[in-house]
Amino acid sequence: MILRVVLFIAIFICVTAIIGNNLKREDEGPLMSLVYGLIVSWALAFAVGVPLIIMKKPLSLMRLILVVLYALLFATGVFSLVKRKRCNKDRGQITPFKSSEMIYLGLFLGIVAFQLYKTIFYAYADGDDAFYVAAARVAEASDKMYLTDAYLGTPSEILYRYALAPFPMWEAVLAQASGIQTTLLAHLILPPVLIVVTYIVYNEIGKLLFGVESREKRFMFLTLTAVFELFSNVSTSTSGTFLLTRARQGKEALACIILPLLFYELFRLVKAEGDITVKDFFVLLSTVLAASLSSLLGNILTSIMLAGAVLWMIIRKKRFKNMVIISAPVLISIMTVLLYIKLR
C-alpha cells in the first residue's frame, strides 16, 4: 500500500502538471501547470459528473469518460511541452539569491513544512467529513452516485444540494482508478497537494503585485500569508481553517484555490488593460466549472467576481467583445442554479 501511495502521488502530480501545460502562459512559473491541471480536472469532473448523476449512471462510467478525456489532454500537454521547450532553448539564467531573500524564503518554506507535517501526521475532528468523505467512499464501494445515504448506508433519493457540486465523486474516481481507499486518499494524499497548490497560486499573485524581479517582497508576502493561514482558526469558516483542516472538501478548494486563482486571472486582465486571449478565456471557463464542482455557492461567488470585472471594463470603456467573452462562463453558473431550483 505504501508503494502504491507513493506511485500514485508521482503519477498524479506528473499527469496533472502535463494536463495543465495546455493552459499555462509563457510568463508564468512552471509550477502553475499543476494548478491549471487541477482546475481542468475539476472542470471536466463537473461537466461529466452532473449529467451522469442526474441520469443515475454508475461511478465507473464517469471514471471511464474522465480517464479518456484526461489521457487526451495529457497527450496534447506533452505536445505543448515539447513545443515550448524547442522554442525556449535560450533561457535567461536565474539571478543568485540575496541573503535577505534566502531568509524570507527559508521562513516561508519552514512554515509550510510545519503545516504539511501537522496535516499528514495529525487528525482534525470535522463533522463535514462524516458526509463528504463518506459519500465518496460509498460511491467508490457501491459504484452508485448519491443513491445511498452516506450516514445510514440505505437507498435514498438524490439530494441535489450535494449532487450538483459532486467534488466527492472526483475523489471517488481517483480512488477507483488508483485502488487506494477514499478515506486514505482524502486524509493523507490530497491535503498536502492542495495546500502546496494554494501557495503556488499566492506566489503568482505576489509576482503580479511586486513584479517578478522583486523576490524579497514576494517572499515576505508569502511568509506573512503562511503565518496568517497558520493562525486563522478564529472561526470554523475562515479560508485558513478550511486550508489546514479540511483540505479534502470542495469548499476548501473553492476558498483557497479556485477563488484566489480567479482573482489572479482578473488581476492579469486589469494589467493587460482588458485584452483577453484564447487561453485566458479557457482559464476563466475552467475556473467557473471547477467552482461549480466544489460548491453550489461557487456559482454565486464566481458570478459576482466576473460581474465586477465587467463593471470595471464598462467604466474604463473597454471593448464590448471582451465584456461578452468574460461574461460567457457565467451562463454555466446560472444554468446550474436554475437546475438546482428545478430539481430540489
Segment 166-213, tens digit of pLDDT: 999 999 999 999 999 999 999 999 999 999 999 999 999 999 999 888
88 located within any domain = no
pLDDT for the residue numbered 90: 53
- Tell whether the model's pLDDT for residue 342 goes beyond 80: yes
In a domain, 24, yes or no: yes
Tell me how far apart the alpha carbons of residues 260 and 265 are, in angstroms, rounded to a whole number. Answer: 9
Cα–Cα distance for residue pair 272/167, rounded to 1 Å: 33
Domain count, the chain: 1
pTM value > 0.85: yes
Flag whether 86 is in a domain.
no
More confident residue, 85 or 151: 151
**Where does the pLDDT of residue 93 fall: very low under 50, low under 70, confident under 90, or very high at 90 and above?**
low
Residue 153 has pLDDT above 90, yes or no: no
**How far, in Å, CA of 97 to CA of 75, rounded?**
36
Q: Which domain holds residue 206?
A: 2-81+98-343
**Confidence (pLDDT) at 260:** 96
CA–CA gap between residue 209 and residue 97 (Å, rounded): 20
Q: Pick the residue with more confidence: 60 or 81?
A: 60
161 in a domain, yes or no? yes
Mean pLDDT across the stretch 77-95?
Answer: 75
CB hemisphere CA count around 188 (13 angstroms): 14
DSSP character at residue 256: I
